[in-house]
Structure 1
Amino acid sequence: MQKTYVLDTNVLLHNPESLFAFEDNHIVIPFAVIEELDNQKRRQDEVGRHARIASRRLDALRQNGNLAEGVALPGGGILRVELNHHSTHDYPPGLSLDKYDNRILAVAYNLSKESEGPVITVTKDLNLRIKADVLGMTAQNFTNDMVNYSNLYQGVREIQATAEDIEQFYRAQSLAWEAEPPLMPHEFVILKNPANPSQSAIAKYADGYLIPLNFSDSINWGVKARNKEQKFALELLLDDSIRVVTLVGTAGTGKTLLALAVGLEKVVEQNEYSRFLITRPVTPMGEDLGYLPGSKEEKLKPWMQAVYDNLEYLFQKADEPRDVLEELVARGVLDMDTLTYLRGRSIPRQFILCDEAQNITPKMIKTLVTRVGEGSKIVFTGDPEQIDHPYLDQNSNGLTYLVERIKEQEVAGHVTLVRGERSAVAEMGAKLL
């Protein structure tokens, strides 16, 4: 039996291509969604861009027939734009039609009264899903680009090995590995002898062999790894053959500081890249401050303050850390920008850091990765447990999506950092609060 999916506006603003993700079922776009898309189309950010894309997709479908009557979708199914048709059934009690969400819910409610098949509201708004459940209706999140965060690829695994295997590894500086479980490219391994727990080794997987780490003890811009996960992170950051690196970890695990230290080392000291480009999504935590006055740098300062704090820590031995930072920016060696300004650019031979990547949608992650030019390296850092975006969660944000989609690629590497190194207080807060 064909299903009828009623799409909320936020699904289209999250992914405009969601129109074509429901196979041969019926897709209903409430008229209120068109109005909301029209209200968002002038925004100069990802939301506005997705609103314009969704409108263009609907306009293209209009060439196939009357949207109110329904048009065929390329992959099967029928799409139609539906008025609130309040003349057919009563609205659910207690719903104010002044709210777009309630008008969308009313469409689904009335359709469920007259449809033989199941009617499902698809929304990323959890409150709308709660309302639907209270009214006895079916509501779902849009899950096509979601991953299971509880089973997220860690980039590290512990494997039991014999004393002979560990001795062979140290003696030959490699150990052939064909046994189960199969390992991912650049995956890190902790070899442990169950008969003698003190006998262990750390290695990384490459081309069928476990090999020692090359950069784990290196010092970059005065920063050295404090635990094994940070050693693994340095291995990925310093290996120029690995072009996409993802670092996931809770607050204080050092993911951003390590990436900044290696970026400065690679760009300023080693001249391996022409510029260090730092970006992060402009997503407020708490009340939005609105538009800020001043130049582009002055506008970005509040959003980039966490990055500035880390950079000033790295420049702490200088007499005036801020002067060093401003000099690097003036020379064009260091650049900070929002994701909005990166669209359409090609970024060759640069070390790129995208911080707080958990607040980016999968669509935006794709846009950013496809900006990477010849000779560039891009690093994503973030904590999926600290999401400020209203319609993203641990399973649907771009960072976890990226980790799962590229884990088998030779040019990519990932590690999850677990031990806090910021301070004893920060570690206590991460564990207990």
Structure 2
Amino acid sequence: MARKRSKKIYVLDTNILLHEPFAFLNFQEHDVVIPMTVLEELDHIKDRNKDVSRDARVAIRALEDVLRDASPEQMLHGVALPLHGEQKVSGHLTIINDHHLKDELPGLPGGENDHLIINTALYLQRERSPQKVILVTKDINMRLKAKGAGLKLVEDYRTDQLIDDVRFLYKGYYRFPGEFWSQVKECQTEQKDRDILHLLERKLLPDAYINEFLIDEAESFAGQVVGINEHQIRVRDLGYERMMHRHAWGITPKNIYQAMALEALLDPNMDLVILTGPAGCGKTLIALAAALELVIEKGVYDKVIVTRNTPEIAESIGFLPGTEEEKMAPWLAAITDSLEVLHKTDEHPHASVGYIMDKANIQFKSVNFMRGRSIQNAIVILDECQNLSAAQLKTIITRCGEGTKLICSGNLSQIDSNYLTAVTSGLTYIVERFKHFPGSATINLNGVVRSRLASFAEENL
């Protein structure tokens, strides 16, 4: 079958389909090649008792939907992929039997699956020249081996990457140099209920986002953007000192970043609060204190669900004794540590922690068992979510039903996943995706408050 030279050929590794099962549909008019080794790996993974087995099954069904009516000859030459939106030219999906290619050219030796997939790309690079052949994999070592073997084009899968440099990630606040009011030329002020609102010129902050916090270097002003139109922004005056004296469950913020986080966490209109920042900046402690305040003191929610994910959890949780919550306890020690900090001055701290866990109905859940649930009237604290992909975070966020507040926290410098980086992490993805959503707020807690040792280590190690 003839191919236009402008078309590229993308050879997909297995981890791409595990990362996003429908990834093969996202290459527009270009051709996609799935080596037989990838299908075999998906087949082995789909029956494992792991979280990725679901993604393997979804990927297999998605491939079958496209190839269901194709003959063996059509599968070898390429089956047209479905068109999306205004797309006029379709790419083709091809299954290639890479086990027979070892006799076609000298590639990487041995029968390792990675080598077979790389050799497929090398074979296509030779046979389809000058058409560009690109191997797509999230395995960094495989990308290095492919280049070393002579493959000219190797890429990571970046369809879900919204920024190129994590330094440009939305922080959730804007700090004005100097003093805020000295930069304001026109302002209309009105009082609505208990709030003081300022109507300012849009050119003062042309890139403003809804719910973005505004502070200044002089520590004289703190506000929040509550409305945006073409010419003006509406800012709610929060009062710098008032914010610094807010408290939840007996704690007050140690810096303006914690104060902004507490403001967002206690706001009943915020369905999603995203907390980013280095280790020791108080993300977990602030989130837990606000959750206890809203559940026990104010009675806004019925319970607190705490969950997190680590690369090992899907494999290791089954070997730990006890119930699901008892199995999760080692992974959620940060939460119990924070509870102990909140009650360290009590006469019987250990008894207080047990009482509060029962009173607030705190439940420890594995993120692997969140699928299929519908969570109502609860606060969900998703800790360490820098290790989740965009697809995994979507699964959790869509579980949140009526009256549920989701708190996502994570540190992009502590990613443990083999296939995620700071720019491809699900945490980065939702920060960028939700910055226009009126029911969410993001705060980067810029400053370590754990200890001077932790602060020095964060800056210098």
TM-score of the aligned structures, taking structure 1 as reference length: 0.92
Match of 2:31 among 26, 29, 32: 26
Q: Distance in 2 between matches of 1:332 and 1:256?
A: 16
One-letter code aligned to 2:104: H
Distance 1:128 1:164 in 2: 53
Farther off after superposition, 160-169 or 322-331: 160-169
Report Cα offsets for 1:83-139 as digits up to 9, x if no partner. Answer: 11326622325x322x21111111111111101311100000011111111123111
**In the alignment, is the contact (CA less than 8 A) between 1:213 and 1:235 conserved in 2?**
no
Percent sequence identity over aligned pairs: 34
**Superposed CA RMSD:** 2.4
Aligned equivalents of 1:177, 1:169: Cα separation in 2: 7
TM-fit CA distance, 1:328: 4.4
User: How far off its partner does 1:18 sit?
Assistant: 0.3
2:257 and 2:445 in contact (8 A); partners too = yes
Distance in 1, matches of 2:347 and 2:416, equals 36
d(CA) in 1 for partners of 2:355, 2:198:
47
Which letter does structure 2 place at the counterpart of 1:201? F
**CA contact under 8 A between 1:166 and 1:200: conserved in structure 2?**
no
Query: d(CA) in 2 for partners of 1:199 and 1:50?
Result: 49
Distance 1:404 1:121 in 2: 27
CA distance in 1, matches of 2:246, 2:181: 29
Moved more, 55-64 or 388-397: 55-64
1:58-207 to structure 2, matched below 5 A, reads 58-66=63-71, 67-75=75-83, 76-84=90-98, 85-86=100-101, 89-93=104-108, 95-97=109-111, 99-116=112-129, 117-137=131-151, 138-148=153-163, 149-159=166-176, 161-163=180-182, 165=184, 173-180=196-203, 181-191=206-216, 198=218, 200-207=220-227
Q: How many equivalent residue pairs?
A: 425
**Which deviates the most, 376-385 or 182-191?**
182-191
Aligned to 2:382: 354
Q: Which residue of 1 aligns with 2:87?
A: none
Shift of 1:57: 0.8
What 5-or-longer segments of structure 2 have no aligned partner?
1-5, 84-89, 228-232
Deviation at 1:157, TM superposition (A): 1.1
Tell me, in whole angstroms, the C-alpha distance in 2 between the residues paired with 1:51 and 1:106.
23
- Preserved contact between residue 377 and residue 403 of structure 2 (Cα < 8 Å): yes
Match of 2:326 in 1: 298
**8 Å CA contact 1:91, 1:110 repeated in 2:** no
Query: Structure 2 CA distance, aligned partners of 1:364 and 1:199?
Result: 39
Q: What secondary structure, in the 3-state scheme, does the structure 2 residue paired with 1:309 have? A: helix
Q: What residue is the counterpart of 1:17 in the other structure? A: 22
1:271 aligns with 2:296: no
Secondary structure, aligned partner of 1:304: helix
**CA displacement 1:297-342 (0-9 Å, x = unmatched):** 2211111112211112112233443433334445671111011111
Q: Higher mean Cα deviation, 323-332 or 48-57? A: 323-332
Structure 2 CA distance for partners of 1:28 and 1:212, relative to 1, 3 Å: same
CA shift, 1:59, in A, is 1.7
1:168-206 deviation line (CA, Å, top 9, x unaligned): 7999844322322231111011246xxxxx474121111
Q: CA deviation at 1:45?
A: 4.0
In structure 1, the residue corresponding to 2:68 is in which secondary structure? Answer: helix
The one-letter code sitting in structure 1 at the alignment partner of 2:237 is P
What letter matches 1:239 in structure 2? D
SS of the equivalent of 1:301 reads: helix
- In 2, are the aligned partners of 1:2 and 1:26 still within 8 Å (CA)? yes
Q: Mean alpha-carbon deviation: is it higher for 38-47 or for 404-413? A: 38-47
- 1:345 alignment counterpart: 373
